[in-house]
Chain A
């Protein structure tokens, strides 16, 4: 058998983007796609539109056509690449194991190199990607201003005066469902170490995330306590930063790599057994740090060390922990009226985080946990494994497609008649809150992070926090 490998086509592209794509795209992956079409039914954008260019097979064909010099990458090409949710539902169904996620990242990276953003967009991008996300303290500051805005009554004023009407509709909608920002993150609230309850099983580190620690700081605290209940010593290295996922997915690869190095160092120094993530979007990039840094020899080994240890909160609880008993009626006030009145079980349903499911392969553990809650009935919603349209900042950049996907998602969610709609990722959680706001069947459905839901239902006598 021949083991010769064959490189990229030997052509001089006159188009600069095509030239960069020729340089950046993994040609083997482009060739590995055998165009069987198995990925089509898994792809949300194909399901919504039914047209080939909106499918993984179509997008790969377009990328390959550019690299091969069959077509010049035009605006339509760039738009098509941006239309992809990056949910990676196409990867697990692909018989040829094509690494679509890498191809789309490489393509967006190339596009970004050539992007001529308008002044406002590039200003905002720079501010967020370079100026805010990478810096935990600035995230905090942003959080505090957001909190100030929410607390000071400015929010009410803004909503009342109709200033928000000046913003595009989807931004207004998002503003409505943003939770209250916390001025204190998880470390400020419980310190850098939290001991295991009972016999220690292992020492784990919490990856606190940047958005998580500002908008969902409670969830971070609950994650730590849940880990402790399950028998883990938890450390929260202070020097950790943003995971870089938003950068990577938007084509800012160098920034993403820089952030990865910061995190690898922070956690390597902490010397832990596992690195726990409670946000599917972050976790999926964290488990791929080895791939992200594979060309950087001095970091490759540590990155591999890091990637091997990353695990989602639900998975580590189920696979390694002593899962506490959960009961719908355990915590004071946690009994929904429906249960109290009828004695019937509360119904919970679950929206998979695409990245948790498709990249971290963590779809069974959350379900096991939810099914273990006494007095609650787990009802699988149709297409729970399909992207909700949130996809990082997709709902902001592609509001139309995201809105369409969300509407269909909520039809399925409503059909379960669940009181709790649980998720494992902040983006999905916000999107579900938005969904309930816009398309809910009125009143009694609540979107929650699975950690918060479970933590509230641990059967424990006289809890102190």
Chain B
């Protein structure tokens, strides 16, 4: 529990109701969406304004007590687990849309706003905010920014970083900074906005964000292509891009995923297929028609067994449901579901899927793979049981090897879920030791006393590379 003096100062800032250190509050903020991680904070604070955030941070800096900022705790990298205790700061009360500027097409919001609620409001105004993480019904804009979240529309529209143009943030010292603004162009010094996007709560606490909005597409069409041959599916992905078509969505499911999805959602998917691609294009009606026809041709040329274009929105929704229920279906197989997100150049998708399958076999674990094929972002997902220590150990070994394979193919250890605790031991594999030192230098400049989300991003030790055994 936090020291008495500290607690009373925090209470004086936010009021008695909004600082808690009872067991109920501590337990309920000891975890996030990541399996198998848990650590108790000493207290939980719910600020209502930037001024309160700054005042809280000043007190914590004075007492040298660490702080973890938290949206909805839906992240999958252990990002909000308070490894070193301290205070968890929940942003939910700061959840307002401050302004929608229809002349500049920007919105200014507070970090605790739920992403789906923001999107609904923006769409009601006839505008479009493309980042759509599958968790958008729960996750917050602040969490999205801190993790640089992506979604099904990432291929064509980019991810959160492409839409954040200005930020207000509180530093570890309690100072408030503002970066960027309602500007489409801004080269005044280092781009601190981009640096804070994806910084996982380790550099500053985001208290306000200005986001770019775009006009919505006028039409949309969805199709499903099914393959007996994995390479056919993978080649289709490359060929579509080669043909200079950028679909809005280009998703992939492998055979084990198809099987569980169909078993649960009863969609009548063909179980003998090696892979399914779910493709959606949007834009002007004529362009959409033309692109979809071309994509269909490419699918058939790459020996798709069956191609099915949705007749209407309802059918399209059914197809999208198939993809969205992948995670749902897998989660029901075994108690513990470990969803990873290795990313490779999109031309290497098929190689990567084969490597994943080989590695799963080698360690005798169950891994199904689905993901954003168009981005090269795959979600190999292990279904296991946290209580079976032996199996979990094998899963960990398998994932280490999967990350290794990913980097070997020119990819990365995480495409959208962030480093947090889970990937920290592998960060150096991706960025190299000089890169890691550079990042540590940046951290030092922002947060010299390691108060903001300590223990994340930088591991005490880098994992040794696994020696790959090629047959």
Q: List residues of chain A with CB under 8 Å of any chain B CB.
A: 1-2, 4, 6, 28, 31-32, 34-38, 40-41, 50-53, 55, 58, 61-62, 65, 70-72, 74, 76-77, 80, 95-97
Partner of B331, one of A34, A71, A72: A34
Task: Enumerate chain A residues within 8 angstroms of B29, measured Cβ to Cβ.
Answer: 52
The answer, yes or no, to whether B72 is at the interface (CB within 8 Å) is: yes
0/1 interface trace, chain B 118-157, chain A, CB 8 Å (1 if under):
0000000000000000010110000000000000000000
Please name the residue on chain A nearest to B336 by beta carbon: A34
Contact with A along B24-42 (1 / 0, CB 8 A): 1101111111110000100
Asked if B366 CB lies within 8 Å of chain A CBs, one says yes
Q: Which A residues lie within 8 Å of B40 (CB)? A: 70
Which of A41, A74, A95 has most chain B Cβ within 10 Å?
Answer: A95
CB neighbours of B137 from chain A (8 A): 38, 41
CA distance A437 to B30 in the complex (A): 43
Given contacts A28-B335, A37-B72, A53-B24, 6 further A-B pairs with CB under 8 A are: A34-B33, A41-B116, A53-B27, A62-B24, A70-B40, A72-B23
* Residues from chain A with Cβ under 8 Å of B390 in the complex: 2
Is B406 located at the chain interface by the 8 A CB criterion?
no
Cβ of A35: which chain B residues have Cβ within 8 Å of it?
31-35, 73
Closest Cβ–Cβ distance, residue B328 to chain A (whole Å): 4
Contacts of B252 in A (CB 8 A): none
21 contacts between A and B (CB under 8 A): A6-B388, A28-B335, A31-B335, A31-B387, A34-B337, A35-B33, A35-B34, A35-B35, A36-B33, A41-B138, A51-B90, A52-B28, A52-B29, A61-B28, A61-B30, A61-B31, A62-B28, A80-B24, A95-B331, A97-B331, A97-B332
* Least distance between B19 CB and chain A CB atoms (Å): 13
Query: Assuming A65-B27, A77-B24, is B135 touching A37 (CB within 8 A)?
Result: yes
Contacts of B328 in A (CB 8 A): 95
Q: In B358-408, which residues have CB < 8 Å from any A CB?
A: 364, 366, 385-388, 390-391
Contact A53–B28 (Cβ < 8 Å): yes
Nearest opposing residue in chain B for A40, CB measure: B138
Cα A1 to Cα B256 in complex, Å, equals 14
Is B161 part of the contact surface with A, judged by Cβ < 8 Å?
A: no
- Contact of B387 with A95 in the complex, beta carbons under 8 Å: no
Q: A6-B385, A37-B138, A96-B331 are in contact. Are A61 and B27 (CB under 8 A)?
A: yes
CB of B93 closer than 8 Å to a CB of A: yes
B72 in contact with A71 (CB, 8 Å): no
Asked if B227 CB lies within 8 Å of chain A CBs, one says no
Evaluate contact between A2 and B391: CB separation under 8 angstroms: yes
Q: Give the docked Cα–Cα distance between A405 and B73 (Å).
A: 25
Distance (whole angstroms) from the CB of B138 to the closest CB of chain A:
5
Would you call B92 and A50 a contact (CB within 8 A)?
Answer: yes
The reply to whether A41 and B366 form a contact with Cβ atoms under 8 Å apart is no
Distance in angstroms from A154 CB to nearest chain B CB is: 44
Distance of B350 from chain A, by nearest CB (Å):
25
Give bound CA distance, A97 to B32, whole Å.
18
A12 to chain B, nearest CB (A): 19
CB-CB under 8 A for A95 and B27, given A2-B388, A41-B138: no
B110 to chain A, nearest CB (A): 13
Residues of A within 8 A of B28 (CB): 51-53, 55, 58, 61-62
Contacts of A40 in B (CB 8 A): 72, 138
Q: How far is the CA of A37 from the CA of B133 in the complex (A)?
A: 14
Q: How far is the CB of A22 from chain B (nearest CB, A)?
A: 15
- What is the distance, in angstroms, from A315's C-beta to the closest C-beta of chain B? 19
Any A CB within 8 A of the CB of B426: no
B332 near A95: Cβ-Cβ < 8 Å = yes
- Taking CB atoms, residues of chain B closer than 8 Å to A6 are 385, 387-388
User: A36–B137 Cα gap in the complex (Å)?
Assistant: 12
The distance in angstroms between the C-alpha atoms of A4 and B366, with both chains bound, is 15
Give the interface SS of chain B, mostly helix, strand, loop or mixed. Answer: loop
A55–B28 CA distance with the chains assembled, in angstroms: 9
- Residues of chain A within 8 A (CB-CB) of B24 are 53, 62, 76-77, 80
Q: Which of A37, A61, A72 contacts B33 (CB 8 A)?
A: A37
Chain A neighbourhood of B31, CB < 8 A: 35, 61
Cα–Cα distance between A36 and B23 once the two chains are bound (Å): 21
Q: Which residues of B133-190 have CB atoms within 8 Å of chain A's CB atoms? A: 135, 137-138
Q: If the complex has contacts A6-B385, A40-B72, A40-B138, are A96 and B332 also in contact, measured as CB distance less than 8 A?
A: yes
> Within 8 Å CB of B46, what residues of A?
51
Contact (Cβ within 8 A) A70 B335: no
A76 → chain B closest CB, angstroms: 5
Verify A50–B93 contact, CB threshold 8 A. yes
Task: Tell whether, in the assembled complex, residue B23 and residue A76 are in contact, meaning their CB atoms are under 8 Å apart.
Answer: yes
Is B388 in contact with A4, judged by CB distance below 8 angstroms?
yes
Interface 0/1 of B12-25, CB less than 8 Å to A: 00000000001111
- Provide the bound-state CA to CA distance between A80 and B23, in Å: 12
Check: B343 CB closer than 8 A to any chain A CB: no
List the A side residues contacting B391 at CB < 8 Å: 2
Q: Which residues of A contact B74 (CB under 8 A)?
A: 36-37
How close is A69's CB to chain B, nearest CB, in angstroms? 12
**A41–B328 alpha-carbon span in the complex (Å):** 17
Do A71 and B23 have beta carbons less than 8 Å apart?
yes
Q: How far is the CB of B210 from chain A (nearest CB, A)?
A: 24
A77 to B27 CA separation, bound complex (whole angstroms): 11
Q: Which residues of chain A have C-beta atoms less than 8 A from B331's C-beta?
A: 34, 36, 95-97
Within the complex, what minimum Cβ distance (angstroms) separates A182 from chain B? 44
Judged by a CB distance under 8 angstroms, whether B458 is at the interface is no
Residues of B within 8 A of A61 (CB): 27-28, 30-31
In the complex, which residues of chain B have a beta carbon less than 8 angstroms from the beta carbon of A36? 33, 74, 135, 331
CB-CB under 8 A for A76 and B332, given A37-B72, A52-B29, A61-B31:
no
Q: Are A34 and B35 in contact (CB under 8 A)?
A: yes
Contact A1 B93 (CB under 8 A): no
The answer for the CA separation of A96 and B35 in the assembled complex, in Å, is: 13
A463 to B373, CA, bound (A): 65
What chain A residues lie within 8 Å of B27 (beta carbons)? Answer: 53, 61-62, 65, 70-71
Query: Which chain A residue shows the least CB distance to B389?
Result: A6
Give the residues in chain A near B332, CB-CB below 8 Å: 95-97
Cβ–Cβ < 8 Å partners of B366 in chain A:
1
Quick one: which of B194-246 are within 8 Å of A by CB? none
A65 to B, closest residue via Cβ:
B27
Those of B283-302 within 8 Å (CB) of chain A: none
Complex contacts, A55 vs chain B, CB 8 Å: 28
> How many angstroms from the CA of A72 to the CA of B366 in the assembled complex?
37
Set of chain A residues within 8 Å of B385, measured between Cβ atoms = 2, 6, 31
> Which single residue of chain A is at the shortest CB-CB distance from B328?
A95
Q: Which residues of B contact A96 (CB under 8 A)?
A: 331-332, 335, 337
Tell me the smallest distance from the CB of B120 to a CB of chain A, in Å: 12
State how many angstroms separate the Cβ of B359 from the closest Cβ of chain A: 16
Closest CB in chain A relative to B46 CB, distance in Å = 8
Nearest A residue to B71 via CB reads A37
- Give the most central of B22, B34, B116, B138: most A CB within 10 Å: B138
Q: Which residues of B contact A65 (CB under 8 A)?
A: 23, 27
Q: How far is the CB of B396 from chain A (nearest CB, A)?
A: 15
Q: Please name the residue on chain A nearest to B114 by beta carbon.
A: A41
Closest to B33 in A: A36
Which 9 residue pairs are nearest across A and B when measured between Cβ atoms?
A: A6-B387, A95-B328, A52-B28, A58-B28, A53-B28, A95-B331, A71-B23, A96-B331, A65-B27
- Check B25 against A38 for contact (C-beta < 8 Å): no
Q: Is the CB of A38 within 8 A of B388?
A: no
How far apart are the CA atoms of A72 and B46 in the complex, in Å? 24
Rounded to whole Å, the gap between the CB of A30 and the closest CB of chain B is: 9
Q: Which of B24, B72, B116, B331 has the most CB of A within 10 A?
A: B24
